[in-house]
Amino acid sequence: MRNISDTIARLSAMRGRQGTSHDDYADRLSDVTGYGSNPGALRARAYIPVNMPENRALVVVLHGCTQSAAAYDHGSGWSQLAEQEGFAVLFPEQQRANNANLCFNWFVPGDTSRDSGEALSIRQMIEALVVAHGLDRNRIYITGLSAGGAMAAAMLAAYPDVFAGGAIIAGLAHGSASTIPEAFDRMRGHGGPSKAELQKHLREASPHKGPWPRISLWQGSADTTVVPSNAEAILAQWQGVHGLGASPTRVETVDGQKRQVWCDGDGRELVERYAIAGMGHGTPLKTNGDDGLGHAGPFMLDAGISSTRHIARFWGIAAAGARRQAKTDTASAAPASGTAVRTYKPEEKPRAVRVEPAHEPAPAARGSSAGITKVIEDALRAAGLMR
């Protein structure tokens, strides 16, 4: 087993080889406060397109180790795509007090179990934004890279009733590790639960009985940090709950990369997997051309295919054609009558904001920050997310 310091040193060395840090970009995100008890002590950041109407989708994006929410957004282009397509994006952010290397604690049962720790903090953030902006509860999605991908897998396991879909990039299966030594062993492809045990972990992580979220898996074939066998474990886990066979329904080539798809009896795509030939550890990007998105950098790898854009298309929240102009219907349309919309313009300096309800509070509380907080807290309690 490789020790922890060795693995972190390798990650740092890779970061140095892959180029400069993201310190020279404009931060497009805004802070969000007032979203609950936050037992995992995470920071919440968000991007909401200008004049976004209600009933839009929400994408939750989890960064990898050594990254910030803003850095991952800059690289992946999620806020750019949100602006083009008209959906909201939530970026939970890890703090050094929780993990010195800014990794989400995806292997700690107290942080990945339903209604506890970091998992509950993320769930509270989601609920608060849904209430504040009138988002569509049937279109909530989650994605992440590396430790963020593993945490996304944990969230999908703990809250399958919340998410319509998920995307795991160079991540690990839920329940594959519960200690730091096990976590590093699994990253290297050593040991781990059997296929049946992994499926049992997923089924028993919540009282949910289905339907299950749709899953998109992305993995570099040359990844030596989180080796490709982890993608196999995640695939087996979700094939089990979806009742899918081992063989894909079809195999195709997309932007020069192999895509495997598993469908149900009605032909609906439930699981997809991309194996990016020759790619190491990171999020695959396509930064150039008409449909270019994001920026290459440490762990953000220009592989000629945009995982961000293809994941959004798989979920059905982005156009399947060429890149649309930033001036979209949702960006130019006036909000519906009576709709309260929080706008975060990209050119504005990010500022701390408190989530507000999409509908006005009762007259006695109107204009009162305490009243706004009460609306959010009441919604969290109603959802069982606060005592």
73 is written with which tokens?
A: 């957004």
- The two tokens of residue 2 are 């490789």
Catalytic residue among 76, 121, 146, 176: 146
* Residue 146: active-site member: yes
Instruction: Assess contact for 307 and 102: CB atoms under 8 A.
Output: no
The C-alpha atoms of residue 318 and residue 85 are separated, in whole angstroms, by 6
How far is CA 323 from its chain centroid?
A: 22
Cβ of 210: how many Cβ atoms within 10 Å?
10
- Token pair listed for 244: 């899918």
Which tokens go with 219?
């993995």
d(CA 29, CA 350): 6
What DSSP designation does 176 have?
A: S
Q: What share of the chain is helix, strand, coil (3-state, %, to 5)?
A: 30, 20, 50
User: Cis link prior to 284 (omega < 30° from 0)?
Assistant: no
Residue positions annotated with a catalytic role: 146
